[in-house]
């Protein structure tokens, strides 16, 4: 009888210890879960429309070609610092004149604007072109240029002595790109065109492209099948990046991969030193958001360190600076609404309605500010000009 009692109490004791252990383990699990949950449920913060003016921002792609402060003043009142980009386009001033204007602006508004220089390929086939170009860049860097832009004339206009198109992976550019890299300067590449350029106007996706290519038939590649293809342009750019893996590269206009966020994602995965500016291509994100909002939203979350806000306004000899600034301000407000709110929107360049992306505050801060500072590391340093 005594023995039976002993066994029963031993069993009870074991059971007690077993249940206690289970309870402790459960408590631990609950604590862990609630800890995890607390982390996940920490509310995401968002900006609203009224924050537009108070949040510090960059716009890393505008072209101010005359000594006029109207756009800079508008930008400053909207809390933007600008990067004005010299470009070797036949419709702009000669590049040394553009640089002169940029330097005067930087000197007058050192807190509000920086500049990117560019290269001329006018004498590309002359024996001293390379040295001339290296000298021009050296002088630009000494004057305070923070980036160098190469333009679509390389790939779409420039020809070698044999009449063959010269692409950006041509070895003649290698010492120039090396020098940009060595000086810790960013290379901005507007290479190729939006994919729409290879389509008939009525098949293009956004009305901005329809208008541009109808007005600039020389760049409407659908009309010029003898020119390098869209893929040729991207492949040359990619081969250049393969040759120069350490160059800090910003693909202007979403790196000419504006039409599909998945295609852009592939290039960003392949080239870790590549970011893209959004200049004049935000409508392509909006166009994709009409049919696949989530894909666009998730792309911004995943590539939040590689996307730089920019818009491509131009103040040229023939422009009315007040008009440019008014349109710019309206455009910038629409973009802010697209990135920060979830409201249903309609914009001039996209036919159908779409919803704003409502990106969290920390992502908005990256695309408007931190990424510009990261990819153009000297953008806020005192200008030497």
Residues lying near Zn ion in the complex (CB under 5 A): 312
Residue ranges of alpha helices (H) inside the chain are 2-40, 70-77, 95-108, 129-143, 153-156, 174-182, 207-215, 230-243, 252-255, 261-270, 282-302, 321-340, 361-365, 371-375
CB of 258 to Zn ion, least distance (A): 14
**Shortest-Cβ-distance residue relative to Zn ion:** 312
Kindly tell me which of 190 and 244 has the beta carbon lying closer to Zn ion. 190
CB of 42 to Zn ion, least distance (A): 40
CA distance 50 to 47: 8
Kindly tell me which of 181 and 312 has the beta carbon lying closer to Zn ion. 312
First-last CA distance in the chain: 103
CB of 91 to Zn ion, least distance (A): 11
Query: In terms of C-beta density within 10 A (0-12 exposed, 13-18 middle, 19 or more buried), how is residue 195 classed?
Result: buried
CB of 244 to Zn ion, least distance (A): 22
CB of 182 to Zn ion, least distance (A): 26
Kindly tell me which of 59 and 205 has the beta carbon lying closer to Zn ion. 59
Kindly tell me which of 216 and 362 has the beta carbon lying closer to Zn ion. 216
Residues 6+ apart with CB under 8 A from 85: 61, 62, 63, 115, 116, 118, 147, 149, 188
CB of 193 to Zn ion, least distance (A): 12
CA distance 281 to 208: 9
Kindly tell me which of 62 and 347 has the beta carbon lying closer to Zn ion. 62
122 in Cβ contact with 151 (< 8 Å): no
The angle, 0 to 180 degrees and rounded to 10, between the axes of the packed helices 321-340 and 70-77 is 30
Provide the token pair at 282: 């935000």
Kindly tell me which of 190 and 297 has the beta carbon lying closer to Zn ion. 190
**DSSP single-letter state for residue 318:** T
């Amino acid at each position: 009888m005594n023995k039976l009692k002993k066994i029963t109490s031993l069993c009870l004791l074991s059971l007690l210890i077993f249940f206690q252990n289970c309870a402790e383990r459960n408590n631990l699990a609950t604590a862990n879960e609630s800890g995890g949950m607390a982390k996940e449920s920490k509310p995401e913060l968002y900006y609203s429309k009224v924050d537009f003016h108070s949040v510090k921002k960059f716009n890393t792609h505008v072209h101010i070609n005359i000594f006029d402060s109207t756009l800079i003043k508008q930008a400053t009142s909207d809390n933007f610092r600008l990067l004005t980009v010299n470009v070797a386009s036949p419709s702009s001033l000669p590049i040394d004149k553009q640089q002169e204007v940029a330097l005067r602006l930087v000197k007058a508004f050192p807190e509000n604007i920086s500049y990117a220089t560019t290269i001329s390929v006018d004498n590309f086939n002359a024996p001293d072109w390379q040295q001339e170009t290296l000298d021009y860049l050296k002088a630009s860097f000494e004057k305070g240029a923070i980036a160098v832009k190469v333009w679509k004339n390389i790939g779409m206009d420039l020809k070698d002595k044999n009449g063959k198109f010269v692409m950006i992976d041509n070895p003649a550019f290698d010492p120039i790109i090396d020098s940009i890299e060595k000086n810790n300067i960013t290379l901005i590449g507007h290479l190729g065109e939006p994919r729409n350029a290879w389509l008939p106007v009525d098949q293009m996706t956004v009305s901005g492209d329809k208008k541009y290519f109808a007005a600039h038939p020389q760049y409407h590649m659908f009309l010029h099948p003898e020119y390098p293809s869209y893929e040729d342009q991207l492949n040359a750019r990619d081969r250049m990046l393969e040759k120069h893996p350490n160059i800090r590269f910003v693909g202007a206009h979403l790196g000419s991969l504006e039409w599909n966020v998945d295609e852009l994602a592939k290039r960003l995965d392949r080239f870790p030193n590549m970011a893209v500016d959004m200049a004049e291509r935000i409508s392509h994100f909006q166009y994709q958001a009409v049919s696949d909002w989530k894909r666009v939203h998730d792309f911004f979350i995943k590539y939040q360190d590689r996307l730089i806000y920019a818009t491509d306004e131009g103040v040229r000899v023939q422009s009315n600076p007040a008009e440019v600034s008014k349109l710019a301000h309206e455009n910038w407000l629409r973009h802010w609404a697209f990135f920060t709110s979830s409201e249903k929107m309609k914009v001039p360049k996209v036919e159908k309605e779409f919803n704003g992306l409502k990106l969290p505050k920390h992502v908005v801060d990256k695309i408007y500010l931190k990424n510009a500072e990261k990819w153009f590391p000297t953008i806020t340093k005192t200008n030497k000009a």
